[in-house]
């Protein structure tokens, strides 16, 4: 019987560890593998079937459940997996599967295994007589980490000190992989520094398309000399990437992460750094295992609004340099920048931040100066705390300038220095200024290490080429030497401003550190005042005082220049925060003379100061002493409009005498008229003693109120020696539907109209007569543009008992219209005895109706002691022509002088009886009619009719001797004979 050719062994539930001893049966190679496994913690039971045939070789089969072993020779360890083995000689086909398994490798994690929710691996294991071996992982193999599913294929062979890897892997996830999953599965083989850095830097995102290729010995990783190839790539969307813990992250970027050998390169696009757009950012780790020299190189192309730079640098290691600089020099507007960061991955080195910012039409606000510099163009370079910009151009308040900027860290502070210069063309402010003004300025900013800041702006301008076309003391001729000095300095506690224009002007201001509160101020126009301080200064204790020491000045010229200045200021600048901040609380103006048109004030002192919601002022001069109050409008209904109130002790003004005649036909005088009265405050005036030129107005009060297109004289009252004028009126401006128009209406009363006229140096024929005149007049144009052609209205007048005397009344317009002096002269000619001492009347009244400059009357009547008079007709104010019919009816008393002439030595009682009877019983009436024509300057009076009859003589008179009768120069009533000439030019 021969030896057996086949051997078969079957063992169930054999512990894995002793079972590995069977590998010794496969020679030295099997023994080596058995030895390596023996050094690892192996667990689990395995069923083994071994067959050996002398012709076919050895065959064996193994199957185990819940097996575990540690890593060896660079081969990862596994736990809780199921194993299927089928071997022939030196070839082994294997299959690993399982759930809730774990992956153990010091290349992945120093201490902890990686959980595997699923293992599905298969492949071959070969060993050779020379001791080499080969582990193959089939392409269909899968490892499911927590949240990361990987498909892989690999071949592992022994190397000098570990294994040689030839592997490919890719993600199998159907959904994007969260960044938190990536952070958990960063292998430590990439180096501790990079591992720790990426664990913090990779904040958020969704990864897709993970892939890896690895060819090379593990001991040579990361292949500095290209001994192998390791490349891993992933595409990440919605990436939030934090450069460093104290830097703001890039977020919402799309990135490609690429590891190639020792180099890591992350390219992120379309992200945001704060609110700055990141067109592209590249994060490069040149060497994964550089150890002490490990660093990240980051470059980014960014664009956006410059005001977003400060928050970025505030949350960076550059907060005390760039961040502090951008706190003082605040940028806003479009910016394009290149940013390069070198970030060490060890704590011993500092971050290096460098790059540039391209400024195109940017605004720069300098906080210390509280000024905006606009249209900034140029490039600002920086390297950490060193900043420089050599060719900046910008505008300041519309003027161009050039500037250079330098900054650096000094021993005790961070220092910023700006040099600026420019030449400003001032012709654009014509007619106020002309010429060009060269200037230069220095700005220094210190940011001490212990906090706070200080700054100084020092500017000097050469005004020699400049002409300043305003009144003295600010006026200046071209080629006159003068300098403007401006200094602004301060800190977080206070800000000081000082400006000087030679001896013409000076300004000193002190603010709190935030430039929000004016702590003290002083401004002066003109030379320093030499007189003692006004007592109001001491009483009011003002914060900001303004003094003006003016030479003789024309207010109209100053107002003209002020309106020019307003045209250059932005609308609403008077209500701006700056204007409110710089509001003075005491203003004093002193001048030997102020004029406005024909008005003149001498030895003028004006002081003003604010009180709550109003301004108070006092004007002292030779001609005017008045208190002034400007009450500002309030939100409540108590005072919805501003009010300007004058309370004058006296006003004595001198000006031109009014014209003797109305400007009937000449066109409107060219004057500047307002466009609206909407901003005009309500004006109230009370004056205890008012005089204009020679005209004593007595006590005066008025109220003016403006609306958009209407100025209303609400009330006007003037009273002097019981002469009273009360009036109201309106001035309507021109609109699309109406012409400009003025209306005045009211009433004048006087106890003695003649006296009133004589007080105003108007010669008048009226004597001892009271007067009441009611008027309502209107005309097209401004109040000072009266034209006869558009004059309309009514005048109702009444004179009480008095008399008319022959004296020129051409100064009194009312009687010139009727040519009363000429009428009286005519009557005196016809009745020279009756009217020798004037025309006495009990009342004299009438109505004037004025239509387009034609004044007409139908009811002018005089009831006189010697007769009654009635006048009808009109006066044309344009041509000054007269057209009146006058009727005079003498009473019988008009024959009294004739009768008295016949009375020779009568007893006084008889004379009295005769006179009494003549006055009461006589019924004889004479009637005279006249035609008045000509002009107001050259009137013509023509008698056109006369009716008369003899008056009966009392018997007592008839008995007197006829021879004692004396003829008398009587009027025509003594006979019926008509006069030889019916027309008498009266002359003047």
- For 503-527, the DSSP string reads TTEEEEEEEETTS-SEEEEEEEESS
Largest CA distance in the chain: 224
User: Can you read off the two tokens belonging to residue 226?
Assistant: 């290209």
- Name which of 326-335, 848-857, 972-981 the model is least confident about: 972-981
Instruction: Express each pLDDT in 65-110 by its tens digit.
Output: 888 877 765 567 888 999 898 988 778 899 999 999 988 887 788 8
Looking only at the bridges linking them, the beta strands covering 802-804 and 792-799 are unpaired
Residue 435 token pair: 């010429």
Per-residue pLDDT, 264: 87
What does the pLDDT read at residue 962? 46
Residue that the structure tokens 């990240």 belong to: 296
Is the distance from CB of 805 to CB of 838 less than 8 angstroms? yes
Confidence class for position 10, pLDDT limits 50, 70, 90 = confident
Question: Average pLDDT for residues 11-22, to the nearest whole number?
Answer: 67
pLDDT digits (tens, 9 = 90+) for 506-558: 999 999 988 889 999 999 999 876 555 566 655 678 899 999 999 999 988 88
DSSP E strand boundaries for 809-953: 839-851, 854-864, 867-876, 881-890, 927-934, 939-947
Mean pLDDT lowest for which of 81-85, 123-127, 244-248, 511-515? 244-248
Residues 216, 229: contact at Cβ < 8 Å? yes
As a whole number of angstroms, the distance between CA 797 and CA 769 comes to 12
pLDDT, tens only, 923-932: 344 688 889 9
Q: Which of 948 and 394 is assigned the larger pLDDT?
A: 394
CA 114 to chain centre: 65
What letter would DSSP give residue 797? E
pLDDT band at 936 (very low <50, low <70, confident <90, very high): confident
**Digit-coded pLDDT (tens) for 854-865:** 999 999 998 987
Which region among 603-617, 797-811, 959-973 has the lowest average model confidence (pLDDT)?
959-973
pLDDT at residue 432 greater than cutoff 50: yes
The pLDDT of 7-21, averaged and rounded, is: 71
* Residue predicted with more confidence, 575 or 631: 631
Confidence check: pLDDT of 760 > 80: no
Please check the confidence at residue 704 and state whether its pLDDT lies above 70.
yes
Position 453 scores a pLDDT of: 87
Confidence of residue 937 (pLDDT cuts 50, 70, 90): confident
For residue 613, the SS3 value is coil
Cα 72–Cα 75–Cα 78 angle in degrees, nearest 5: 90
* Both tokens assigned to 855: 């004044």
Confidence of residue 899 (pLDDT cuts 50, 70, 90): very low
Element (H, E) at 216: strand 202-217
Q: Let me know if 916 is exposed, middle or buried by CB neighbors in 10 A (0-12, 13-18, 19+).
A: exposed
- In this prediction, residue 900 has a pLDDT band, given cuts at 50, 70 and 90, of very low
Taking only the tens place, the pLDDT of each residue in 484-513 is 999 999 998 999 999 999 889 999 999 998
Contact 208, 234 (CB under 8 A): yes
Is the backbone of residue 71 left (phi > 0), alpha (psi -120 to 50) or beta? Answer: beta
Among 912, 946, 909, which residue's Cα sits nearest to residue 929? 946
Question: Lowest mean pLDDT: which of 625-629, 676-680, 897-901?
Answer: 897-901
pLDDT above 70 coverage of the chain, percent: 81
Q: Is 270 helix (H, G, I), strand (E, B) or coil?
A: strand
Mean pLDDT lowest among 16-25, 304-313, 466-475:
16-25
Tokens at residue 267, please?
Answer: 């390219």
- In this predicted structure, the answer to whether residue 231 has a pLDDT above a threshold of 80 is yes
Q: State pLDDT tens for residues 172-188.
A: 998 999 989 888 888 88
Confidence of residue 973 (pLDDT cuts 50, 70, 90): very low
Q: Are 611 and 630 in contact (CB under 8 A)?
A: no
Instruction: Give pLDDT, residue 918.
Output: 42
DSSP classification of residue 40: S
Confidence of residue 610 (pLDDT cuts 50, 70, 90): confident
Phi, psi of 374 (to 5 degrees): -110, 170
- pLDDT tops 90 at residue 167: yes
Those residues with Cβ within 8 angstroms of residue 955's Cβ, 6 or more apart along the chain or in another chain: none
| pLDDT given for residue 625 in this prediction | 95
Position 963 scores a pLDDT of 42
pLDDT value of position 967? 40
- Reply yes or no on whether the pLDDT at 950 is more than 60: no
What is the predicted pLDDT for the residue at 224?
Answer: 84
Look at 704 and 292; give whichever has higher pLDDT.
704
Q: Which helix (H) or strand (E) holds 309?
A: helix 309-314
Span 354-367, mean pLDDT? 88
Alpha helix stretches (DSSP H) within 938-988: 955-958
pLDDT of residue 62: 86
Q: Output the pLDDT for position 903.
A: 37
At 18-27, the pLDDT tens digits run 655 555 555 5
- The predicted pLDDT at position 703 comes to 96
Q: Which of these ranges, 12-21, 140-149, 302-311, has the smallest mean pLDDT?
A: 12-21
Section 598-615 average pLDDT:
88
Q: In a 3-state reduction of DSSP, which class is residue 641?
A: coil
- Mean pLDDT of the region 772-776: 96
With 50 as the cut, is the pLDDT of residue 455 above it? yes
What's the mean pLDDT in 726-745? 93
pLDDT score at 551: 93
Q: What angle do CA 408, 413, 418 make, to 5 degrees?
A: 50
How far is Cα 239 from Cα 280, in angstroms, rounded to an integer? 13
What's the CA gap between 567 and 575, in Å, rounded? 15
| pLDDT value of residue 538 | 56
Number of helices (H), then strands (E), belonging to the chain: the values are 15, 54
Residue 657 corresponds to which tokens in the numbers above? 């005498």
Judged by DSSP in three states, 957 sits in helix
Tens digit of pLDDT for each residue in 324-353? 777 778 888 888 888 888 888 776 667 788
Separation between Cα atoms, residue 786 and residue 777, nearest integer Å = 11
What rounded mean pLDDT belongs to the chain? Answer: 81
Contact at 8 Å (CB) between 924 and 895? yes
User: Which among 270, 384, 378, 257 is positioned nearest to 317, based on CA atoms?
Assistant: 384
Query: What gap in Å lies between CA 979 and CA 681, rounded to an integer?
Result: 67
DSSP string spanning 374-408?
Answer: EEEEEEEEEETTEEEEEEEEEEETTEEEEEEEEEE
User: What is the full DSSP assignment across 105-173?
Assistant: -TTT-SS-PEEEEEEEEEEEEEE-TTS-EEEEEEEEEEEEETTEEEEEEEEEEE-SSSEEEEEEEEE--
- pLDDT for the residue 78: 84
**What is the share, in percent, of the chain residues with pLDDT greater than 90?**
33
- Pseudo-torsion of CA 416, 421, 422, 426, nearest 10°? 90
């Amino acid at each position: 019987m021969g030896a057996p050719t086949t051997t078969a062994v079957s063992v169930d539930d054999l512990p894995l560890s002793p079972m590995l001893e069977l590998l010794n049966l496969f020679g030295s190679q099997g023994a080596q593998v058995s030895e390596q496994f023996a050094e690892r913690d192996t667990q689990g039971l395995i069923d083994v079937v071994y067959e050996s045939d002398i012709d076919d070789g050895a065959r064996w089969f193994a199957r185990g459940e819940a097996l575990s072993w540690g890593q060896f020779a660079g081969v990862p360890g596994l736990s809780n997996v199921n194993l299927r083995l089928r071997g022939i000689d030196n070839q082994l086909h294997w299959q690993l599967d399982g759930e809730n398994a774990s992956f153990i490798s010091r290349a992945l994690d120093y201490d902890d295994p990686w959980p595997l929710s699923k293992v599905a691996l298969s492949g071959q294991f070969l060993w050779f007589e020379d001791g080499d071996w080969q582990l193959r992982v089939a392409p269909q193999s899968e490892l499911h980490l927590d949240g990361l599913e990987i498909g892989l294929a690999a071949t592992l062979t022994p190397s000098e000190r570990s294994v040689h890897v030839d592997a490919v892997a890719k993600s199998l996830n159907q959904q994007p992989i969260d960044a938190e999953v990536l952070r958990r599965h960063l292998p430590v083989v990439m180096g501790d520094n990079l591992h720790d850095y990426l664990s913090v830097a990779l904040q958020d995102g969704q990864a897709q398309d993970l892939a890896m290729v690895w060819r090379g010995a593990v001991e040579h990783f990361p292949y500095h000399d290209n001994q192998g190839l390791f490349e891993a790539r992933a595409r990440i969307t919605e990436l939030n990437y934090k450069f460093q813990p104290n830097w703001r992250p890039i977020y919402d970027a799309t990135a490609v992460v690429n590891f190639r050998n020792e180099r890591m390169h992350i390219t992120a696009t379309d992200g945001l750094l704060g609110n700055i757009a990141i067109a592209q950012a590249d994060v490069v780790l040149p060497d994964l295992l550089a150890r002490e020299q490990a660093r990240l190189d980051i470059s980014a192309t960014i664009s956006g609004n410059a005001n977003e730079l400060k928050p970025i640098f505030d949350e960076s290691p550059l907060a005390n340099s760039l961040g502090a600089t951008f706190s003082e020099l605040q940028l806003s507007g479009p910016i394009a920048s290149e940013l390069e960061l070198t970030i060490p991955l060890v704590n011993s080195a500092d971050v290096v931040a460098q790059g540039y910012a391209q400024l195109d039409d940017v605004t720069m606000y300098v906080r210390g100066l509280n000024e905006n510099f606009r249209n900034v163009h140029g490039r600002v370079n920086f390297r950490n705390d060193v900043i420089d910009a050599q060719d900046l151009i910008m505008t300041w308040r519309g003027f161009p300038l050039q500037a250079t900027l330098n900054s650096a860290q000094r021993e005790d502070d961070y220092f910023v220095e700006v040099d600026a210069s420019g030449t400003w063309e001032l012709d654009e402010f014509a007619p106020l200024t002309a010429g060009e003004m060269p200037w230069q300025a220095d700005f220094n900013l210190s940011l001490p290490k212990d906090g706070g800041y200080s700054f100084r702006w020092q500017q000097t301008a050469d005004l020699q080429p400049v002409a300043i076309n305003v009144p003295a003391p600010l006026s200046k001729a071209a080629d006159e030497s003068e300098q403007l000095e401006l200094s602004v300095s301060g800190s977080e506690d206070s800000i000081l401003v000082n400006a000087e224009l030679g001896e013409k002007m000076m300004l000193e201001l002190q603010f709190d550190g935030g430039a929000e509160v004016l702590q003290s101020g002083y401004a002066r126009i003109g030379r320093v005042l030499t007189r003692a301080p006004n007592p109001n200064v001491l009483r009011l204790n003002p914060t900001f005082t303004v003094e003006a020491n003016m030479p003789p000045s024309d207010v109209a010229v100053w107002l003209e220049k002020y309106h020019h200045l307003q045209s250059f200021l932005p609308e609403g600048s008077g209500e701006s925060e700056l204007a409110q901040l710089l509001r003075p609380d005491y203003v004093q103006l002193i001048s030997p003379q102020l004029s406005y048109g024909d008005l003149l004030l001498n030895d003028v002192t004006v002081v003003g100061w604010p009180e709550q919601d109003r301004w108070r002022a006092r004007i002292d001069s030779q001609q005017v002493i008045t208190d002034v109050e400007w009450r500002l409008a309030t939100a409540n209904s108590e005072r919805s409009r501003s009010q300007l109130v004058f309370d004058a002790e006296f006003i004595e003004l001198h000006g031109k005498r009014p014209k003797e005649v109305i400007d009937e036909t000449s066109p409107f005088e060219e004057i500047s008229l307002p466009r609206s009265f909407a901003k005009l405050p309500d004006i109230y005036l009370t004056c205890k003693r008012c005089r204009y030129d020679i005209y004593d107005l007595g006590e005066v009060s008025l109220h003016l109120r403006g609306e958009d297109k209407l100025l209303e004289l609400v009330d006007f009252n003037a009273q002097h020696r019981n002469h009273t004028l009360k009036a109201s009126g309106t001035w309507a401006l021109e609109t699309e539907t109406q012409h400009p128009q003025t209306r005045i209406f009211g009433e004048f009363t006087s106890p003695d109209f003649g006296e009133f006229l004589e007080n105003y140096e108007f010669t008048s024929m009226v004597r001892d007569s009271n007067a009441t005149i009611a008027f309502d007049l209107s005309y097209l144009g401004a109040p000072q543009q009266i034209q006869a052609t558009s004059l309309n209205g009514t005048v109702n007048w009444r004179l009480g008992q008095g008399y008319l005397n022959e004296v020129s009344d051409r100064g009194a317009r009312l009687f010139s219209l009727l040519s009363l002096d000429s009428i009286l002269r005519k009557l005196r000619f016809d009745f020279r005895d009756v009217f020798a001492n004037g025309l006495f009347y009990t009342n004299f009244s009438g109505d004037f109706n004025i239509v387009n400059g034609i004044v007409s009357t139908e009811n002018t009547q005089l009831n006189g002691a010697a007769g009654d008079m009635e006048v009808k007709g009109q006066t044309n104010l344009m041509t000054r022509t007269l057209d009146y019919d006058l009727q005079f009816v003498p009473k019988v008393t008009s024959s009294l002088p004739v009768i008295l002439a016949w009375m020779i030595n009568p007893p006084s009682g008889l004379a009295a009886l005769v006179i009494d009877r003549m006055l009461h019983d006589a019924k004889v009436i004479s009637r005279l009619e006249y035609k008045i024509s000509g002009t107001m300057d050259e009137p013509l009076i023509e008698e056109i009719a006369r009716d008369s009859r003899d008056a009966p003589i009392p018997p007592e008179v008839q008995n007197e001797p006829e021879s004692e009768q004396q003829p008398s120069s009587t009027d025509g009533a003594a006979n019926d004979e008509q006069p030889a000439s019916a027309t008498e030019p009266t002359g003047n």
